[in-house]
Each structure stands twice: as structure tokens, then as C-alpha cells.
């Protein structure tokens, strides 16, 4: 899984060549703006993380359920085929007995 994005930060107040207090005020303003922009990006990343984590949990649950269903189907098929084999064995024995009994002993109609 990869994430691609970009971040653009804008300085909204030019530094200027005024006094130290003016330049400090401009710096503080720019840092507040950058912090707000960073909060927006952080909220977007947290939202994306939540969506991806939720999607992964759902996909994992779906695949686990599918695997369990497939295992149950395979198990049922194996058990069913064993039952059919036993039934086939009994039918084979009955056919061999009835097929080899002389006509005078047992009459098939």
C-alpha cells in the first residue's frame, strides 16, 4: 500500500524590512498560518488512515468468513463422500449376493 501526496505551505504575510517587532509579528503570523495548514493536512491524513484501517478490517473479516465457509464446504464434501462410499459398499455387496444367488433360492422380479 502506498500513499502519495503533496503539501503546499503559503506564507501569507511578507517579512518586510521594518522593525524587529514588525518582523517578529510577521513571523508569528506566518507560523500560525502554517500551523493551521498543518492541522488541515493532519486531519485529512487521520481521516484517510481511518478509512483505510476500516476498509482493511472489513476485507479481513470478509476473507476470514469466506475461508471458514470454504473449509466447511470442503469438510462437508469429504464427509458426504465417505457416506456415499459406505453406501456404495453396501450396495455392491447386496448386488454381488443377489446376482450370484441361484434362481431356485431367490427370485428377483
Q: How far is CA 20 from CA 11, 24, 26, 96, 104, in A?
A: 18, 6, 10, 111, 126
Instruction: Identify the pLDDT of residue 25.
Output: 87
* Top-confidence range, 16-20, 28-32, 44-48: 44-48
CA neighbor of 70 nearest in space, from 56, 58, 62, 57: 62
Cell of 109: 422380479
CB of 67 closer than 8 Å to CB of 22: no
| Predicted model pTM | 0.49
Amino acid at each position: 500500500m502506498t500513499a502519495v501526496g503533496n503539501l503546499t505551505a503559503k506564507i501569507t504575510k511578507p517579512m518586510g524590512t521594518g522593525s524587529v517587532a514588525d518582523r517578529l509579528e510577521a513571523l508569528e503570523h506566518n507560523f500560525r498560518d502554517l500551523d493551521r495548514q498543518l492541522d488541515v493536512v493532519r486531519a485529512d491524513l487521520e481521516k484517510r488512515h481511518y478509512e483505510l484501517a476500516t476498509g482493511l478490517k472489513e476485507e479481513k473479516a470478509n476473507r476470514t468468513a469466506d475461508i471458514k465457509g470454504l473449509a466447511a464446504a470442503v469438510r462437508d464434501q469429504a464427509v458426504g463422500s465417505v457416506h456415499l462410499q459406505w453406501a456404495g459398499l453396501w450396495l455392491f455387496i447386496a448386488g454381488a449376493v443377489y446376482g450370484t444367488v441361484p434362481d431356485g433360492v431367490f427370485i428377483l422380479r
